[in-house]
């Protein structure tokens, strides 16, 4: 960083030869805004918003305008605020390319913060009246918010604080103790098999004794099993049966939540199954509804949801805005269970609420602690529960080298991650190569074989109408990319796979004229739904396959133990899926996964992206890239500026 402001003339001198007529550039920008726009840190839209606010507020200090533009930019990149003291070390470029931000004329942090505090565009502290479009968290704080997001963060904090401070639920403790034993086993008999505290049992007990529970855990740790049992535990309490809502951020996640809960409730004792009945799930948007003729939600603090228990799965994908809207709509006496993996990629919108909740410090609640220990759910030597957070840490889906690698990535241990990758395990393969930008990269024979073998099984089953085998083959192998475009992206690798399949005689078959026998709807074509279709019950991110049946070709989509057949003519938003982004793979599992790592200089290469990618696999992970890329990913957690964690602790 520089220690003194940089003038517009000094910046302009560095921009000679730049085509400022490029659509990416704001032609009216000067000084710092122009420098950061041309470098790729700011877009033209960021600059235009800052300039507009400057005109409305009478602000001329270019340091303040830069802060405004960076705050606007931060929302697009998932941050709810901008940290003026650290952004010079954490900000990256747009898209897939890294920007050398060290060469940019960053203002000195102390003077920058002071300029913002003095600006008519900025309110300072929680007690300052509303009106200005931006707010500093407090005097001397470097956290600068767009005022709307500051208010949402404050709303989430207050809602959680008030629910924790209110009188806790008063369940029948004897019945609760009996229910815990029936559903989770006798704690005296060590139902974990020597694995320590039964944290599934603990999470269920916390949900019975507290208004808000955070059920955290990685893939395969039994989160949905726990949800099914804790719902049975709550339904077993005296009085009217609780009204239960299951929800998730996306249609795909909601459908999978309903399927998984239905599967696990089917394993419960008959009386528990009868009390729960048939549970369905919806998206959060559908749960909250819409006011007729308005973009606002129908349910809010003036029209609360009627449910007694609300379970939200994939909560890591819930943005700050949606969490604020949800909390205000949940009745103060209802129970809310937030389920998810705080180590996965967060919401594509601003905020990382689950991560903030799961990692916030707090003070143990004495009443909760006494009750949990009296029930045998929390052993005497275990630490008290804080903020209602219970983390499941025993993995059932995969083990061995994959689990060890996931643990090393999650804890930021790059040396251990590299050691696991190079150990030569059969379920963890490391293809070290820096030739992915070449036309025909070397060392990919194993990937090509997996792709062709999976396609052969898929196509064979699809042509004979074997729906079950076709759907199993669809999830046998999946190629995941961090980028959408370029040499490391989905577009390039989808084309590569199409070529491999054509060489192997897979994919669409052609006649003597070169035309596809079945047109675009050939048996074995793997499909990806790209838009929600509520009439068909298909959601963005769902995958399926075209199968030849007795009535013609049909697009088939898995639905738990069942499947759904749809005539191709009824499908609107679908495309072939030979590769997908890591983001889109969230909530899915595949037998074998191949990950094309972005280059080390990619701003998309993060710890969360790598962790999410490798934990999609059940039996094998193949990582293609360089040691440097692995080390960069493990050492670079997603940088999302937020003040929620500290505010919760206070």
Q: CA 338 to CA 227: how far, in whole Å?
A: 10
Question: Of how many residues is the chain composed?
Answer: 650
Closest among 582, 554, 365 to 467, alpha carbons compared: 554
Residue, of 9 and 498, whose pLDDT is higher: 498
Q: pLDDT value at position 463?
A: 92
Q: CA 201 to CA 224: how far, in whole Å?
A: 13
* DSSP codes, 367-380: HHHHHHHHTTSS-T
Q: pLDDT value at position 13?
A: 41
Q: pLDDT value at position 14?
A: 41
520-530 pLDDT tens trace: 888 999 998 88
9-31 pLDDT tens trace: 333 344 444 443 445 667 677 78
Q: pLDDT value at position 189?
A: 54
461 has pLDDT over 70: yes
Q: What is the mean pLDDT of residues 187-204?
A: 71
Q: Give the pair of three-digit tokens for residue 392.
A: 């499941």
Q: CA 133 to CA 54: how far, in whole Å?
A: 11
Question: CA angle, corner 18, sides to 12 and 21, nearest 5?
Answer: 105
Q: pLDDT value at position 208?
A: 94
128 pLDDT band, cuts 50/70/90, is confident
Q: pLDDT value at position 31?
A: 83
213-222 pLDDT tens trace: 999 998 878 8
C-alpha distances in Å from residue 119, one per residue of 34, 35, 112, 643: 21, 22, 11, 21
Closest among 241, 228, 386 to 313, alpha carbons compared: 228
Q: pLDDT value at position 563?
A: 78
DSSP state of 283: E
Q: pLDDT value at position 20?
A: 39
Least confident of 84-93, 129-138, 163-172, 609-618: 84-93
366-375 pLDDT tens trace: 999 999 999 9
Q: CA 476 to CA 33: how far, in whole Å?
A: 49
644 has pLDDT over 70: yes
Residues ≥6 apart with Cβ < 8 Å to 100? none
72 has pLDDT over 70: yes
389 has pLDDT over 90: yes
Give me the chain's average pLDDT, please: 84
Q: What is the mean pLDDT of residues 553-575?
A: 82
Phi, psi (degrees; rounded to nearest 5) at 371: -70, -45
Phi, psi (degrees; rounded to nearest 5) at 473: -65, -30
- The pTM assigned to this predicted structure is 0.82
Cα–chain center distance at 321: 15
Q: pLDDT value at position 513?
A: 46
Q: What is the mean pLDDT of residues 617-643?
A: 88
Question: Three-state DSSP class for 541?
Answer: coil
Least confident of 322-331, 417-426, 501-510: 501-510
288 has pLDDT over 50: yes
Closest among 402, 400, 390, 406 to 622, alpha carbons compared: 402
607-628 pLDDT tens trace: 999 999 999 888 899 999 999 9
580-610 pLDDT tens trace: 999 888 878 888 999 999 988 887 888 999 9
398 pLDDT band, cuts 50/70/90, is low
Q: pLDDT value at position 353?
A: 87
Q: pLDDT value at position 7?
A: 38
93-114 pLDDT tens trace: 555 555 667 778 889 989 999 9
């Amino acid at each position: 960083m520089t220690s003194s402001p940089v003038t517009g003339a000094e910046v302009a001198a560095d921009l000679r030869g730049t085509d400022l007529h490029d659509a990416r550039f704001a032609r009216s920008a000067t000084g710092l805004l122009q420098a950061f726009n041309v470098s790729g840190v700011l877009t033209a839209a960021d600059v235009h918003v800052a300039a507009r606010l400057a005109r409305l507020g009478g602000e001329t200090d270019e340091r303040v305008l830069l802060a405004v533009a960076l705050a606007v930019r931060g929302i697009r990149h998932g941050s709810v605020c901008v940290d003026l003291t650290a952004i010079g070390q954490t900000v990256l470029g747009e898209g897939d390319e890294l920007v050398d931000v060290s060469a940019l004329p960053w203002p000195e942090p102390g003077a920058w913060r002071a300029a913002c505090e003095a600006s008519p565009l900025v309110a300072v502290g929680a007690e300052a009246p509303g009106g200005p479009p931006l707010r500093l968290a407090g005097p001397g704080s470097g956290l600068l918010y767009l005022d709307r997001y500051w208010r949402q963060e404050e709303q989430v904090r207050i809602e959680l604080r008030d629910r924790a401070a209110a009188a806790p639920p008063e369940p029948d403790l004897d019945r609760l103790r009996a229910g815990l034993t029936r559903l989770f086993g006798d704690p005296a008999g060590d139902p974990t098999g020597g694995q320590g505290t039964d944290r599934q049992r603990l999470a269920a007990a916390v949900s019975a004794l507290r208004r808000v529970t955070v059920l955290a855990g990685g893939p395969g740790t039994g989160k949905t099993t726990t949800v099914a049992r804790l719902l049975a535990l709550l339904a077993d309490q005296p009085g009217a049966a609780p009204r239960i809502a299951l929800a998730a951020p996306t249609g795909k996640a909601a459908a999978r939540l309903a399927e998984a809960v239905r599967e696990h409730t089917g394993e419960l004792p008959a009386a528990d199954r009868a009390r729960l009945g048939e549970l369905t799930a919806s998206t959060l948007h559908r749960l909250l509804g819409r006011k007729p003729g308005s973009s606002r939600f129908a349910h809010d603090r003036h029209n609360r949801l009627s449910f007694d228990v609300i379970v939200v799965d994939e909560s890591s994908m819930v943005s700050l805005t949606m969490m604020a809207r949800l909390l205000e709509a949940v009745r103060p006496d209802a129970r809310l269970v937030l389920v998810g993996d705080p180590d996965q990629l967060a919401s594509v919108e601003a905020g990382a609420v689950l991560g903030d909740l799961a990692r916030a410090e707090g003070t143990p609640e004495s009443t909760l602690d006494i009750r949990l220990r009296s029930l045998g759910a929390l052993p005497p030597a275990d630490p008290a529960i804080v903020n209602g957070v219970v983390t499941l840490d025993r993995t059932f889906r995969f083990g061995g080298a994959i689990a060890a690698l996931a643990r090393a990535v999650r804890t930021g241990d790059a040396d251990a991650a590299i050691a696991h990758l190079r150990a030569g395990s059969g379920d963890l393969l490391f293809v070290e190569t820096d030739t992915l930008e070449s036309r025909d990269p070397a060392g990919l024979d194993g990937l090509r074989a997996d792709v062709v073998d999976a396609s052969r099984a898929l196509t064979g089953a699809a042509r004979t109408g074997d729906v079950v085998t076709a759907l199993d083959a669809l999830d046998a192998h999946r190629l995941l990319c961090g980028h959408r475009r370029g040499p490391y992206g989905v577009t390039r690798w989808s084309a590569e796979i199409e070529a491999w399949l054509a060489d192997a005689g897979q994919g669409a078959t052609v006649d003597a004229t070169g035309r596809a026998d079945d047109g675009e709807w050939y048996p074995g074509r793997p499909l990806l739904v790209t838009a929600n279709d509520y009439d068909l019950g298909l959601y963005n991110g769902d995958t399926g396959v075209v199968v030849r049946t007795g009535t013609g070709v049909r697009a088939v989509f898995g639905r738990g133990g069942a499947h759904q057949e749809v005539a191709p003519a009824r499908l609107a938003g679908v495309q072939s899926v030979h590769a997908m982004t890591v983001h889109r793979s969230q909530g899915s599992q595949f037998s074998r996964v191949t990950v094309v790592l972005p280059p080390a200089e990619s701003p998309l290469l993060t710890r969360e992206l790598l962790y999410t990618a490798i934990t999609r696999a059940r039996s094998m992970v193949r990582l293609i890239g360089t040691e440097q890329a692995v080390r960069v990913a493990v050492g670079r957690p997603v940088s999302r500026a937020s003040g929620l964690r500290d505010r919760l602790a206070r």
